[in-house]
Amino acid sequence: MNDLLKISDLKGGYSKDLNILNGVNLTINSGEMVGVIGLNGCGKSTLAKAIVNLIPHRSGQILFKGENISSLDTCQIANIGIALMQQGGTVFQNLSVMDNIKIAFKGANAEMYTKLKSMIPLLSEPDHELSKISADRLSGGQRHQLALALALASSPDLAILDEPSAGLSPKAVGEIYTLLGVVRKELNLSALIVEQNINQAIEFCDRCVFLSEGIVVEEYNNSNKNITRNKIIARLGL
């Protein structure tokens, strides 16, 4: 497998006087699903945002397909094939589902919308029905489905999913990860998944990295999930 994303010694944070990321090193290979796990406040979501330059980094390097993207702005990063689904399933809540879709898919490949309609339950309704559904009336699971569709509109080579299970019921968590499995298979998607739900990350991802105080302190190959789970439990002191 070839390196799709390579992060070297990445440092940065919300304030210019304080780093949240203290030298992150991470590689994602083409076709991989990599989980980022760790305790609250360790820098997981900060890392997701820093990759797409929503949070500036002060030093380090980000390579995407071998090209240095460290100095690109968020729109440029989206245009070269990296998409971010933000924590909480961020959508335009004052608009209809269909209006959300129209904004995201404007100028995008119409074939992708057709594919997603066949995969994402929320989008299976006719477009005129989706125009009647206000995004602020969606359930948590439906909102996450819509947020995933918006992130995938540009046919990204890499999707960054920031806590796709956050705030969802156990049933909805199972549904969103079942959907991610379908999307992965049908679109050959590579992804970085920031996840507080450690068991879910272990079950779904090819490997996980453990973030602590803004650095990767351990990496786990999930080929043996029980061993991985036991190592993480030991690290958490549970």
Q: Which two tokens mark 34?
A: 């990599």
Report which DSSP code applies to 123. G
Domain count, the chain: 1
- For 209-224, the pLDDT digits (tens) are 999 999 999 999 888 8
Q: 174-192 in b/e burial notation, b at 16+ Cβ within 10 A?
A: ebbbebbeebbeebebbbb
What mean pLDDT comes out for the span 131-153? Answer: 95
Residue 2 has pLDDT above 80, yes or no: no
CATH number of the domain at 119, please.
Answer: 3.40.50.300
**Strand bridging mode 67-68 / 21-29:** unpaired
Answer whether 16's CB lies under 8 Å from 63's CB. no
Interatomic CA distance for residues 74 and 42, integer angstroms: 23
- What's the pLDDT score for residue 238? 56
Answer whether 85's CB lies under 8 Å from 162's CB. yes
- For 169-182, the pLDDT digits (tens) are 999 999 999 999 99
Average pLDDT, the chain: 92
The domain of 35 spans 3-236
- For 30-78, the pLDDT digits (tens) are 999 999 999 888 899 999 999 999 998 889 999 999 999 999 999 999 9
What mean pLDDT comes out for the span 12-28? Answer: 90
Residue 200 has pLDDT above 90, yes or no: yes
Pairwise pLDDT comparison (109 vs 189), residue with the higher score: 189
Q: Crossing angle, helix 170-187 and helix 140-152, to 10 degrees?
A: 20
Q: Residue 46 contacts by C-beta under 8 Å, 6 or more apart in sequence?
A: 12, 13, 14, 20, 21, 55, 214
- What's the pLDDT score for residue 41? 85
What mean pLDDT comes out for the span 119-146? Answer: 94
